[in-house]
Every structure is written in C-alpha cells, then in structure tokens.
Amino acid sequence: MPLTIKGRSQAKQAGRQASDKGLAFDVIISSPLARAFDTAKIVASELGYPSNKIILNDRFVERDFGKLEGRRDLVAGTKYFIDESAIDPYDGVEKLVDLQKRMDDFLAYLHSIPHDTVLVVGHGGAGRALRRAIEREPLSKRGKALGNAELVRFI
C-alpha cells in the first residue's frame, strides 16, 4: 500500500525538521517495503541526500502478521496493545521472540557498518523491537509507539 497524502506530508515535515536542525546522515537505511522506502526517499530529498544511495535492508521489514495482516479489527481484539506476544498463536504470525532476534541481529549490523550517523526508516513493531535491543529491555516491555515519520535518536 502506498503512502497517503498525509504520510507524504509527514515524511516531508520530518525531512525539513532534520534539515532545520542541521542533521546530516552518513547513510540512510530503509525497509524495502513501499511506505518505508517512499518515506526514506522523501526525507532524503529534503536533506539533499541522493535517493539512489539509500540502502534497503530486509531485516528491518515489519513483523509478519500472518492471517492478521490488514485485520486491525482482529488485532484490536487481542491484548496486543499491552502484550505484543498476544498474537503469537495466530497462523503465520512472526513470533515476538523471532522479531526480537531479527532486531538484535539488525542492531549488530548497524554497529558493524563504517558510519557514525545513520538514519533508519522502518515500521512500528520493528522499531519498538529495535528500541528494546538498544536499551536491552525485556520482551515484556512494549515501549512507546513510534509516530509516523517521527525522528527518534536511539544511540
């Protein structure tokens, strides 16, 4: 699903905010999923960063919601908003522990690259898991939701 007009506006605003603060990124890494990649390209444009230099990384895709994909009504019917593992039993859902392992590996990748200032563009569930990895928090900590096109300094 493509970015909405509102999403494009939010991405443009995030890019302007970063530019106004004088932020410069050595590299931009994005999930290859359309909305994240479109967001990364819009932010990059506002920063004067070449969009062909954005690195796509499959490890930062959103959690696979299996049969719950696109079914906010079903997700809302679980305790997911308190405990992310509440949806683990549903068919095809990526287990929370597997998502966390993927984000632990993604964090190790981020530490391994030769760049100091990295902008990562992704998704809510993956972002919360990355935050848990950075802060060494337990799986039971859901963490604050990340806003659309919100700039957050993790490290």
Q: State residue 121's pLDDT score.
A: 95
Helices 124-135, 96-112: crossing angle, 10 deg rounding: 70
152 — pLDDT class (breaks 50, 70, 90): confident
- For residues 90 and 144, the model is more confident at 90
Q: Decide if 121 contacts 151 (C-beta within 8 A).
A: no
- What Å distances lie between residue 24 and 29, 33, 115, 149, CA to CA? 14, 24, 12, 16
2 — pLDDT class (breaks 50, 70, 90): confident
Domain boundaries, the chain: 5-135
Q: State residue 155's pLDDT score.
A: 64
The residues, any chain, with a CB within 8 Å of residue 64's CB and separated by 6 or more, are 92, 93, 94
Q: Which helix (H) or strand (E) holds 126?
A: helix 124-135
Question: What type of residue is 46?
Answer: E
- What pLDDT digit, counting tens, does each position of 31-89 carry? 999 999 999 999 999 999 999 999 999 999 999 999 998 888 777 777 888 889 999 99
Q: State residue 13's pLDDT score.
A: 95
- What pLDDT digit, counting tens, does each position of 75-125 carry? 777 788 888 999 999 999 999 999 999 999 999 999 999 998 999 999 989
Region 5-135: CATH code: 3.40.50.1240
Instruction: Give the mean pLDDT of 7-22.
Output: 94
134/35 Cα distance (integer angstroms): 24
